[in-house]
Amino acid sequence: MFRSIRARIMSWHLLVTALLITAFSLILFSTVADSLYRGVDMTLLSKAAEINSGLDFEAGRWNFPQEENDFSAADLLIQLSDLGGNILARSANLGKKRLPLNATIRAQALKDGPAGSLATVSVGQGPPLRLLTVVDTGDGTSAGLLVQVGISLKRVESTLGRLRFWLLIIAPTLLLLSSLGSFFLADRLLRPLKTMAQTAESIGERSLSERLPVANPEDEIGQLAGTFNRMFGRLQRAFEQQKRFVSDASHELRTPLTVLRGQLEVALRRRRSAQEYRQVLETSLGQAERLSRLVQELLLLARADSGKWQPDFQPIELAQLCAEIAGEIKTLAEQRQITLEVACAKRPVVYGDPLLLRRMIANLLDNAIQYTQPGGQVRLSLELQGDRARLSVADTGLGIPAEELSHVFERFYRADQARSQQRTGGTGLGLAIVREIVRVHQGQIEVESTPGEGTIFTVRLPLYRTATRSH
């Protein structure tokens, strides 16, 4: 019904306050009224008792003390009658009037006995009268007597009237004040949300560095803004990473294309010998191969990013896989005069995709061989560590400077030293792919390196029996 939170807060507040004020007013009014009426009744009862005790019955008639004949009570109207209803005495303030004494009152008084019968009776136009009628039925020595004490309820009614008047003024005023308060409070509380919404609206692709204002980081709204700001931070990092990736990728694709185009243009400029054509074709083929490898790797990463990898998981004997890959790569190591040592004493079984795992180990071995000088060593080892298989590739190569270690898994990242040597012609995607493969196998990868001494890449993969089959 109410679209805005402010309207909802205000209407609830108004409803609750209205109920509270009404309940309070009703209770106050009824308590005051009750106590005033009770006070009147008490006065009537005590006066009746006083009168009764002051009367004598002598020589067959009631004897009213002269000085008390007017019964000297300012507001109280007193009337004494016999059981037949004949008035025997009245207080002076009654003047010519008499207190009501009809058959009903008499009957009720007789029924209620000496405790007295209380009733509110209306007399003419004026305010009602509270009337107490007490019966003294007499005994052998005295005749029966009806003592009536009445009081006008004018004063009580006017007090209650005043109270009602003030409550009717005060209650709506309080309600108005409290709704004004709730209006301003809701406005104050919700203003930061409005500002947040406006800022969030203006944050777009180009202004991801903007952040929401945080007035008070301790309160709930501040915490919400903080959460959003952290989310914007993550989005900004991811977005920048993506942008860098795209621009790096286009750059990497452009280089071989430029080379290819240059070679072909030069070759076509004039007639060339068959040998020259052959050389150009060979270089072009090399560039085309590099291009297709790049595109294939980029596609692989793009599929990993969009969650479209559907690895073919199966139990795999890692030791066997290691031996196979080492066999394939042995020639390359020999060519570069590098000793390749394989230490796979344990035979852990992991749950993985054979092609991806093969690629992971090959990339690591390839790096170790590429970045190690001739005469160096590369060691591939496999161990069991708790419920994990620990695969490590250690070399005695160039090493990676500490400040570059955290970057080696980034896409297109190549450490300067290696790049300046232009020795590999690699794409810089190898370790990024390794990291994705480790991630999809729910493993961990870490690297330790001492420049000039060597590097160790360690991968930990869950074993088959403990691996979760939720892949």
Burial class (CB in 10 A: 0-12, 13-18, 19+), 335: exposed
340 binds ligand ATP (CB under 6 A): no
Between 85 and 375, name the residue whose CB sits nearer to ligand ATP: 375
376 binds Mg ion (CB under 5 A): no
Alpha helices for 336-429 (secondary structure H): 354-370, 402-405, 416-421
Q: Would you give the binding string for ligand ATP spanning residues 149-178, x where CB under 6 A is met?
A: ------------------------------
Torsion of CA 357, 359, 363, 366, to 10 degrees: 110
CA angle 180, 181, 182 (to 5 degrees): 90
Query: Of the candidates 17, 367, 372, 396, which one interacts with Mg ion according to CB under 5 A?
Result: 367
Closest CA to 343 of 378, 390, 381, 317: 381
Q: How far is the CB of 254 from ligand ATP (least distance, A)?
A: 17
Work out the end-to-end distance of the chain between its first and last CA atoms, rounded to an integer number of angstroms: 46
405 binds ligand ATP (CB under 6 A): no
Between 386 and 425, name the residue whose CB sits nearer to ligand ATP: 425
397 binds Mg ion (CB under 5 A): no
| CA dist., res. 413 & res. 421, Å (int) | 15
Q: How far is the CB of 296 from ligand ATP (least distance, A)?
A: 11
| CA dist., res. 439 & res. 19, Å (int) | 60
Cα atoms in the 13 Å half-sphere on the side-chain side of 173: 6
CB 163 within 8 A of CB 29: yes
Collapsing DSSP to helix, strand or coil, 468 comes out as coil
What are the strands, taking DSSP E only, across 70-172?
A: 77-81, 87-90, 117-121, 129-136, 145-152
Map the footprint of ligand ATP across residues 319-338, applying CB under 6 A: none
424 binds ligand ATP (CB under 6 A): yes
414 binds ligand ATP (CB under 6 A): yes
Cα atoms in the 13 Å half-sphere on the side-chain side of 63: 8
Collapsing DSSP to helix, strand or coil, 120 comes out as strand
Between 109 and 369, name the residue whose CB sits nearer to ligand ATP: 369
Number of residues that bind Mg ion (CB under 5 A): 3
Query: Of the candidates 192, 352, 430, 462, which one interacts with ligand ATP according to CB under 6 A?
Result: 430
Between 77 and 431, name the residue whose CB sits nearer to ligand ATP: 431
Between 316 and 415, name the residue whose CB sits nearer to ligand ATP: 415
Q: How far is the CB of 432 from ligand ATP (least distance, A)?
A: 6
Window contacting ligand ATP (CB under 6 A); options: 118-126, 138-146, 270-278, 362-370: 362-370
Sign of the torsion angle spanned by Cα atoms 97, 102, 108, 109: positive
Using left for φ > 0, alpha for ψ between -120 and 50, and beta otherwise, residue 59 falls in left
Between 36 and 456, name the residue whose CB sits nearer to ligand ATP: 456
148 binds ligand ATP (CB under 6 A): no
287 binds ligand ATP (CB under 6 A): no
Q: How far is the CB of 245 from ligand ATP (least distance, A)?
A: 13
Find which of Mg ion, ligand ATP, none residue 413 binds, CB within 5 to 8 Å per kind.
Answer: ligand ATP
| CA dist., res. 441 & res. 238, Å (int) | 22
458 binds ligand ATP (CB under 6 A): no
17 binds Mg ion (CB under 5 A): no
Between 146 and 364, name the residue whose CB sits nearer to ligand ATP: 364
CB 70 within 8 A of CB 95: no
Query: Of the candidates 136, 248, 252, 395, which one interacts with ligand ATP according to CB under 6 A?
Result: 395
Supply φ then ψ for residue 295, to 5 degrees. -60, -40
| CA dist., res. 138 & res. 83, Å (int) | 10
430 binds Mg ion (CB under 5 A): yes
Window contacting ligand ATP (CB under 6 A); options: 38-46, 74-82, 145-153, 368-376: 368-376
Query: Of the candidates 132, 415, 438, 463, which one interacts with ligand ATP according to CB under 6 A?
Result: 415
Q: At what angle do helices 354-370 and 430-440 cross, to 10 degrees?
A: 150
Window contacting ligand ATP (CB under 6 A); options: 7-15, 132-140, 277-285, 395-403: 395-403
Number of residues that bind ligand ATP (CB under 6 A): 24
Query: Of the candidates 256, 348, 397, 462, which one interacts with ligand ATP according to CB under 6 A?
Result: 397
Q: In the complex, which residues of this chain contact Mg ion (CB under 5 A)?
A: 367, 426, 430
Q: In the complex, which residues of this chain contact ligand ATP (CB under 6 A)?
A: 363, 367-368, 370-371, 395, 397-400, 408, 413-415, 418, 424, 426-432, 455
